[in-house]
Structure 1
Amino acid sequence: MRLSIVTGLTLLVAASPAFAAASMPDQSRARELAQDAVIVDTHIDAPSELLSHWDDLGLAAPGKEFDYPRARQGGLDVAFMSIYTSPEADAEGKAWQIANTQIDAVEAMAGRHPDKFALLRSPRDLDSLRANGRVTLVFGMENGAPIGEDLSKIAAFHARGVRYITLAHSANNRISDSSYAPKKQWGGLSPFGEKVVAEMNRVGIMVDVSHLSDDAVRDVLRVTDVPVIASHSGMRHFTPGFERNISDELARAVAAEGGVVQLVFGTGFISPKAAADLQAYFAAEVDFDKANAAAAAAGKPERSKDDFEKEWKDAHPVPVIHIDLVLDQIDYAVKLIGIDHVGIGSDFDGVSGNLPVELRSVADYPNLVAGLQARGYSDADIRKILGGNLLRVWSTVEAAAKH
């Protein structure tokens, strides 16, 4: 997820070390399991962060939430690097260029540190590539805009290592309606979008239904021949009316087709107040754009977008949350759709630090493991949540590919 309004948002109150120390169980067993299990995080926004402010992520990068030292500290094995392009980039015809530039940046980072990173193209290669402490990197494309109107670009992105595509982001596009769009364009997938899903099935790219409208998710499930994922979504049960999060009905439908819901950590998706504010922001942004368009047509000065966002941020401070909200999401999802259909997609580096106190970076997966252990999950079930379920879906999609 990349949203301009998230940038610069501050926490409502300072994090409480006393709370974290009191609420988290002993972590020795959790750290051991985190290091031994295969941890797959399906949404880390490092690539766009690299382009906005370059850091060598093979070394400690305190200004980021993903870097190699903390990834190893947390036990991360498979990091899906989000190749994000905005609706604005799509409108300006820049999405293809930006996507390929981000892929180049990650490839360069891995090339500089072959002892620390490896590019993962298939789950079959995971064990060999993560040997000797390497973190494997996979590409997940957030927004199908770089495809343009050319289906052949899907195979081109597969060749570059893209293994899932989020069909839309915060606006309707050529492929699909967005959950954030107040007015839908297609009533689900577009006719071209149905061809995109079929082509993704053919070449072996997972279809990601995060960010899509409910009708678009239904269309995806009607068209696809293989399981799909929600790469970074919350459960709408906790944020009523927030279409960006997945409904009980659609979560069940994803699971019924063998798919997996990867649960997100970001405050804006799991705090009811923050989710309501985020939804309201998009409505306010539409009104802002309309007002500016009217001003421009009348020859009057337009209002600054930066001023609009600052005023919004000041009026809507982001609440501090703790890991229990993430654990509640997992509990609910497991009871609703089963232990075999739940995973994690943090949104690290995509929400400007608006995260649970105990889940601030890729170093903190052991805190999640400790919380699950404290709630009675077996180690075998925790391994499924941490990565086993996602790897199963990926293997299924790869095996069904006809490229």
Structure 2
Amino acid sequence: MYKTLSFCLALALLVACTTPKETPKEKKDVSTMTEDELNAYAKELADKFIIVDGHVDLPYRMEVKGFMLKKQVEDVSIETEGNFDYPKAKAGGLDAPFMSIYIPSSYYFDGGAKEFADSLITMTMDVTTTFPDKFAPANTPDEIKANFEKGLISLPMGMENGAPIEDDLANVKYFFERGIRYITLTHSKDNQISDSSYDTTYTWNGVSPFGEKVIAEMNKYGIMVDISHVTDSAFYDAIRLSEAPVIASHSSCRHFTPGFQRNMSDQMIKDLAADGGVIHINFGSTFLSKASRDKFDLMDSVMTNYRAETGLSRRDSAYQAYAEKFAADNNVFADVPIVADHIDRVVELAGIDYVGFGSDFDGVGNSLPVGLKDVSMYPNVIAELLKRGYTEEDIEKICYKNTFRVWNEVIATAEKLQGS
């Protein structure tokens, strides 16, 4: 008996000594790095981790430029004047920008919302078929991972404004089948689903009775409920009604912009996190800083007067040059550190698991911060976070894991509801 025990003990020791152990990750000391070394490390992480952005307005940018009318897509495989294109995305490590299928509120009032959404979805998918060696559709986190391993940029889609649902619940399934994976309940005006933070009508004092049914259908099919743009009361209705966590695809912290209802209050951020959701930080300067908001308001007044005095339009080169000089002289833009401040605020209030990127690139005009003018510049945010003590694991969560967690929970909820 003792010999047997001795043999077993010896065998166990041999296995323990010879079984390879996982080597712990080496923690790099950023405090000893030069600026160049820190930037290189940030770029390394941007390339290493999947980067998801909750909101990029390429589809509407293409529509505005007339590509939809020409029945073609903009050549985003090469460098463009916009915030997003393939070379910039590769330089910045961006792997999965949610393409915003943005529906202006006028389509809700004047009609044609569904047809317009369809046209933008088709144009977005045309990007993937026109440049299949660079872009690919993606309807799940697993598909994004697979595309990432192939070196492809995924183009998941979210619909900004629920107006295209019209008054027919069947359209929720219809848009799911077309690839929509989140719906921003409304935009700048109250619609048939929800009140808007930019409106003052308070038509429903939150989510409408029809909107309650829409949210239930979104849960059933696996579409994330996006509460960016809604009123506070609609936000609380949404988290009460949704059986899955909700997201803010492109919002920031109201703490830094007092009175700006489009951003989320501290309590809303806490409650979003308690519900398991995630807030994606908007990079627009007016979303980030009250000082920038005030300066942009002043600039808007000055430029309105300048146009009246000169007869120039916004498209005139002389007007644009004057506007650029005014912006530079008056330091109207936010910067990368204030973006990190917003991330810090969410982490302080709720924890590291509830924040991501939601830039609004190509959707906030000329208001982007210094150091974050296009999608090539995500490493600048990562470098700032590293300076502040964020670990690789923290940054990986911010880049994609937090969003994937919520998205997978939404998918699991849909499977459960469809199976019941």
TM normalised by structure 2 equals 0.80
Aligned residue in 1 for 2:410: 397
1:233 corresponds in structure 2 to 251
1:108-257 alignment to 2 at 5 Å?
108-257=126-275
Contact 1:263 1:342 in 2 (8 A): yes
* Distance (Å, rounded) in 2 between the aligned partners of 1:49 and 1:23: 35
Alignment RMSD (CA, Å): 2.5
Q: Over residues 282-329 of structure 1, what are the superposed CA-to-partner deviations in whole Å (9 max), with x where a residue is unaligned? A: xx9xxxxxxxxxxxxxxxxxxxxx89xx9xx99998812211110111
8 Å CA contact 1:80–1:140 kept in 2: the answer is yes
Structure exhibiting the larger radius of gyration computed from Cα positions: 2
Q: Is the 8 A contact 2:286 2:293 kept in 1?
A: yes
Q: Assess if the C-alpha contact under 8 Å between 1:242 and 1:279 holds in 2.
A: no
CA contact (8 A) 2:50 2:148 kept: no
Summarize the Cα distance change of 1:182–1:85 in structure 2 as closer, same or farther, 3 Å threshold: same
Residues 242, 276 of structure 1: 8 Å contact kept? no
2:39 aligned to 12, 15, 27, which one? 27
2:355 matches 1:342:
yes
What secondary structure, in the 3-state scheme, does the structure 1 residue paired with 2:164 have?
helix
Aligned-partner residue type, residue 189 of structure 1: V
Query: In the TM superposition, what is the alpha-carbon distance from 1:354 to its structure 2 partner?
Result: 1.3
Instruction: Report the equivalent of 2:283.
Output: 265
Instruction: Work out the CA distance in 2 between the residues paired with 1:30 and 1:390.
Output: 20
Give me the TM-score of the superposition, normalised by structure 1: 0.83
1:329 aligns with 2:368: no
Structure 2 contact 57–99 (Cα < 8 Å) conserved: yes
Partner Cα distance (1:127, 1:256) in 2:
27
Residue 348 (structure 2) pairs with residue 367 (structure 1): no
Q: Which residue of 2 aligns with 1:5?
A: none
The verdict on how the C-alpha distance between 1:246 and 1:51 changes in structure 2, with shifts beyond 3 A counting, is same
Residue pair 1:116, 1:135 contacting (<8 A) in 2 also? yes
1:70 maps to amino acid: K
Q: Tell me the CA shift for residue 62 of structure 1.
A: 2.6
Q: Is the 8 A contact 1:204 1:397 kept in 2?
A: yes
Q: Which has the higher contact order (CA 8 A, sep 6+)?
A: 1
Gaps spanning 5+ residues in structure 1: where? Answer: 1-21, 285-305
**SS of match in other structure, 2:345:** helix
Pairwise CA distance, 1:217: 0.2
Instruction: Check the 8 A contact 1:24/1:370 in 2, yes or no.
Output: no
% of aligned pairs identical?
A: 44
Number of positions where the alignment pairs a residue of Structure 1 with one of Structure 2: 357
Partner SS state of residue 377, structure 2: helix
1:358-389 residue CA offsets vs partner (Å, 9 max, x unmatched): 11111111111111111110000001011110
Helix, strand or coil for the counterpart of 1:79? strand
The amino acid that maps onto 1:97 is E
Instruction: Tell me the equivalent position of 2:122.
Output: 104
Q: 1:215 to 1:248 in 2, by over 3 A?
A: same
Task: Quote the Cα distance in structure 1 between the aligned partners of 2:365 and 2:210.
Answer: 34
Deviations 1:178-202 (A, max 9, x none): 0011221111011111111111011
Q: Specify the code of the residue in structure 1 equivalent to 2:50.
A: V
Structure 2 gap segments, 5+ residues each: 1-33, 68-72, 302-312
